[in-house]
Chain A
Amino acid sequence: DAKTTQPPSMDCAEGRAANLPCNHSTISGNEYVYWYRQIHSQGPQYIIHGLKNNETNEMASLIITEDRKSSTLILPHATLRDTAVYYCIVRVPLGSFGAGTTVTVRA
């Protein structure tokens, strides 16, 4: 399984963009990158996923580097409700989630 590396925490000001990096240097050619978030012990919520092209939906944008060894999740206008733990995963559900990035959005 490809492993992912994320910073343990980051702060973001409300209304600003939040850029969450993830390294997945051992990703295989057919493995997708998934992003989930978890708010206070609720079930993880799907955000977005991608293979090699950049993706955008109503929640976020996903930028994947050309070599696919890293990606960035962008929350374009962070709100207080975006405070959560964000997980970057390759090939759910094989393997466990990492520690993720705890994002705190401040007013």
Chain B
Amino acid sequence: KAGVTQTPRYLIKTRGQQVTLSCSPISGHRSVSWYQQTPGQGLQFLFEYFSETQRNKGNFPGRFSGRQFSNSRSEMNVSTLELGDSALYLCASSFEDYGYTFGSGTRLTVV
């Protein structure tokens, strides 16, 4: 079966712009979680959505937001981009909280 699909794979944005990243979970998975990975901070949890509702949230500023659609696909948005937002953004999906499958990530570069 198809894995977790993240688009786009690479993205270059300018400071102050906003960006939207997309994540399509494995068919049947209702939970989608988002992570930010940077060399200095490692894998940091952003938020988790389950059945279109945000279930958990990490410690990130309000510039980071997300949503989940009825087909479980999820998007995350970062507004007013800063240089420090350059990172690999990963999403993971799960069926019922048992085991999470990660996508290959979106590499965001802010210049």
Residues of A at the B interface (CB closer than 8 Å) are 32, 34, 36, 41-46, 49, 87, 92-100
Contact = CB atoms under 8 A, between A and B. Distances in A.
Given A43-B90, A44-B43, A44-B90, A34 B102 contact: no
Interface of B: 4, 33, 35, 37, 42-45, 48, 56, 58, 88, 90, 92, 94, 98-105
Nearest to A87: B43
Top 4 closest A-B pairs, CB basis?
A43-B102, A97-B43, A93-B33, A96-B44
Nearest to B36: A96
A64 to B, nearest CB: 16
A92 B56 contact: no
Given A93-B56, A93-B92, A94-B56, A45 B48 contact: no
A2 B98 CA distance: 17
B56 A49 contact: no
Contacts of B35: 93, 96-97
A97 B42 contact: yes
